[in-house]
Structures are given as structure tokens and as C-alpha cells.
Structure 1
């Protein structure tokens, strides 16, 4: 995994999880082993176990293995592993910008940014994506040609709740059923994960950034994308929902000439680096 830290340091890291997933996704026998695990039914069964009090035994080992700083989170007694995994961060640690024209990240994650080209196409690593396939709508996809796609990949150590980046009015949620591959970059070399995985999206008619699509993508062992509201008014920084156990992804789609991203985000993406960001952190501005 290649990423840019909050301090601007470039890191090339190949941890145990990356190496294991490289072996599994890079070999025929590994993909055969993974085949049952990426089925939503398996994630649902695992999710049911992680909702039980017995699953609490997994909490302390997980904290130690991922070096999670629990002082950042509200103190409470967790009823289950999923209750712990969707824990709330202390609100003062994820402030949203006061400037209404500043674009905040809706979640913690590792950010990549792409220009949406002709035919509503953009490339992630070596895989080309069509918005028509991603959204299951040709008409909607055509509206975003020439715009920007911002992909925020969450890992297990991230805060797994996400918010709205601006105030406005949202449409109904649209659910697209699919499989549940890991969202680790190694899987993207083998499968077009964002158009194969289960996902859910809504149109946000925002006050500052035009009509923004916000999409949540499920991942390996994440059987539940839990969005809180249906159609109606929304506020910047208002919680939109949460992911249950595992890594996952939030995608933002912007129309052409609506947003100016922070300097170097597109450049670093082109070099193969993701940028570490936190919920509420400014990632761009309204284009004048």
C-alpha cells in the first residue's frame, strides 16, 4: 500500500494483510478459497455473530493488533463487537469547516481522486470504470462526464461512520446488490470491485457543490451499509450512516467545474499514492 500521511510523508508499505491478499487474489487457488467468502450470505452470518455478546472477546485483541487509540472515542460499555466497531468518535476531534465553500471529507479514509473522462470513464489502478456500470444509469452517468470522482477507502483502523459534506436536499437511497470483495488495492488488479460489490447511493442537491452523488460500497465481511435517512433535508456534518465490520469505501461524484480539489491530490493519485484524510478535513473548495 502506497499512501501520503497527514504530515505529507510518502510511505510504501507492504504489511501482512497486503501480502496475504496479494497471494489470495493473485493465484487461482486463492481466488477459489475466497469465492464463498465474498458472498453476501456469508457476511450476513458473520454479521449476526458479531452482533452477539460473545463476540466481545474479539475487541481487546483487535485494539492491540491495530494500535487503536481509544482515547479518541466516547467511553461506553460495548454490547458486541459490532457495537465497538461502529463506536462514536469524540465530536470535537472531527470538526467540519466553518467556511461553507470549503469541501470537507465525509469520512476517515485513504483518498484517491480521478477526472471522469469521455464516456463517463475513469481508471483506478489498472481497471477502467464506467459510471453507467457503477450507477446502473446511463442518463445519470452522462451528467458527470468531465467531473471528478473522489474515492475514500476505509480500513479497519478508521472511524466507520460517515457524514454529509454539505447542506441541501437528498434523494431516496438506491441499493445495488452484488458481491463483497475486499477494497484493498490488490483486489482491484483482479476484479472491478466498485462495480461488482454491493453498494448504495443517493443524489445530494447541495448548497455549494452542485448535485453530488454519495455512494457507499460494501466490502469483504461488511454485509451491512447502515444509512440513517431517506429522502429529505440534510445538513453539513450530519451523520449519514455507518459501515459494520471490515474495510469499506465512500465515493463522491462531482459535476464538471463544481469543485477545485486540494493541490496535489490528483497528482499523488496519478503516482499511485492514496492520501490519508479524516472526517471534516478540507479536501477542496467550491470552484469560482
Structure 2
């Protein structure tokens, strides 16, 4: 894999992603010496926490201007100007103006919980279109909960990958009642396609937190936030066991790339065809929080 390409949802064009530390990632996941460093040091919690603390320091503000320029980040979307942040992490978890991410309010629609690139599988047992053949998504390993594994067996899987350039707060995809979050400790592998195409187990070996959103229109939606290399922490900002609204903030990731995984019950929703087709062709689709990704199959 020489570089990462994805489909721009707005234009339908095939684009190449700018990846900070691209050569480093290729070395870690595809070079024998890199793999040795990965399994002995890089995936460990200590490294990610150390870097997270470094990004919390006032000195880290010096990185903001270059980061914005190199990755073409549109700061007009942010509530606060670039010079108003106390650290790089403060900038990294920046809030956006409400009008920057309009929420699709079509009755029965399910919206993207985050900015990033999305893969969608109508049946999570059929992943060969993107991942190396022979791999399957293990619900038992991912959830470590037999009841939930049975509930979502045969259902749909959506994987939202947040790169460092992306807005790093995540939101609710529909109206409903949200459960408390269940934490599962794990490693800190990268979630870049350089890592996961041939190592799907990253999703159930990394640190993660999941919760269930009970909805009237789309069944029970399972939302899982997955940490990754250099992600300092996953912060949940919602109130457990409360009623929430579509587009309401759920939480945030501190520095690094990360992932939100969504599980949908079989027969309750229909994923948008363009996302399914792009995935079938082996490409992620760019997405913004609040954009529609699926529609209800339940009679309202």
C-alpha cells in the first residue's frame, strides 16, 4: 500500500490523503524492524500518555500554526481563533460553530457521529472488499459481551476513521436514550489503513469504550470509541441514562488519530448506497458529522 486514497462524498472524486508521519507508519507496519518496535514500544499506553501530556503543555502551542497550514485546516469553522488556545491539545479538541456542521433532521435518518472517512458493511461478515481476505470481525472479542454479540450478529458495521486533521469531537447519530459507557482496556495500535487492512484485530485489541443508544427509529445503535497510537484519552461528556438529541455532543478524543465504530441491528436501517458502493470498491468515503448515512426501515 503506497498511499491512502478515498472518495470525496461531495464531488465523487478519488483523492489522496495527506498523512502526517506517513513514512513512519509504513515502516512500523510493513518493515520487520518497524514491527519489532511496534510490538515492544509504540503500541504501549505509556508512550501515548507521555505524548498526550506533552501536547497539554503551553510550549506545544508552537505546533499549531504549522499544523493548520500544512493540513489546510479551515479555522473559520472554529468558535475560537488560532491564537486563543492554551496548548496543542486545547486546539486539537476545538469546538466548531453550530452552522459549520448542520445536522440532517429528516425523520428516521441516522447521521454521522464524527468527521473523517467511513467504511460501511451491510453485513459485518463480509469485509473482504476493504480488508485483506480471510479476516472477520469478531464481535465476541470486540464487545466481550455474549448477549450483545448475539444481538448484533448479522447486523451492519460502520467504521469512522478520524485522522489528526479532523475535528475530534464525536456526537450522537439519532435521538434516543443513551446508556453508560463500558470501558475495555487494550493497546494503542494505529488505526490508519496502513495498519488495519491486514490487521483487523486492532479494533478489538485497542483500548475502547462502548455504549448503546436506544432509538424509536433505528433500533439499538451501539457506539464504540476506539483509541489509537498517541491518543492521550477518550473523554465522555454526556450524562449516562439520559435522553439525547441527534447531533448532540457525546465526547472527544485528545491528540492523535482514532475511530468511532457503529453497530446497527439487522433489518432496522438501510445504509446509504453511495457509502456501501465505495466500500465495495475498496475505498473509504469522506464524511462530516451530521451528514446522513442511513435511513430507518422501521414503520413510524
**Same fold, TM-score > 0.5, yes or no:** yes
Aligned residues: 286
Structure 1 residues 238-258: Cα deviation after superposition (integer angstroms, max 9, x where no partner) = 100001111110111000111
Question: Which of 131, 143, 149 in structure 2 is aligned with 1:125?
Answer: 131
Match of 2:152 in 1: 144
CA distance in 2, matches of 1:41, 1:234: 35
Match of 2:47 in 1: 42
CA distance in 2, matches of 1:107, 1:159: 8
Shift of 1:215: 0.5
Question: Which of 79, 86, 93 in structure 2 is aligned with 1:86?
Answer: 93
Contact 2:269–2:295 (CA under 8 A) maintained in structure 1:
yes
TM-score w.r.t. the length of structure 1 is: 0.93
Match of 1:101 in 2: 108
Structure having the higher strand fraction is 1
Query: Is 1:250 matched up with 2:260?
Result: yes
TM-score w.r.t. the length of structure 2 is: 0.90
Contact 1:204–1:211 (CA under 8 A) maintained in structure 2:
yes
Question: Which of 26, 32, 40 in structure 1 is aligned with 2:30?
Answer: 26
Match of 2:59 in 1: 54
CA distance in 2, matches of 1:267, 1:168: 29
Match of 2:68 in 1: 63
Structure 2: gaps spanning 5 or more residues: none
Structure 1 residues 1-34: Cα deviation after superposition (integer angstroms, max 9, x where no partner) = 1210021112355867444322221122011223
Contact 2:56–2:90 (CA under 8 A) maintained in structure 1:
yes
Contact 2:113–2:172 (CA under 8 A) maintained in structure 1:
yes
CA distance in 2, matches of 1:122, 1:16: 27
CA distance in 1, matches of 2:145, 2:80: 43
After superposition, the Cα gap between the structure-2 partners of 1:173 and 1:128, relative to the gap in structure 1 and judged at 3 Å, is same
User: How much is the aligned-residue C-alpha RMSD, in angstroms?
Assistant: 1.8
Counterparts of 1:5-24 in structure 2, within 5 Å, are: 5=8, 6-11=10-15, 17-24=21-28
Match of 1:175 in 2: 183
Query: Is 1:276 matched up with 2:286?
Result: yes
CA distance in 1, matches of 2:123, 2:47: 34
Question: Which of 3, 7, 23 in structure 2 is aligned with 1:4?
Answer: 7
Structure 1: gaps spanning 5 or more residues: none
Shift of 1:223: 2.6
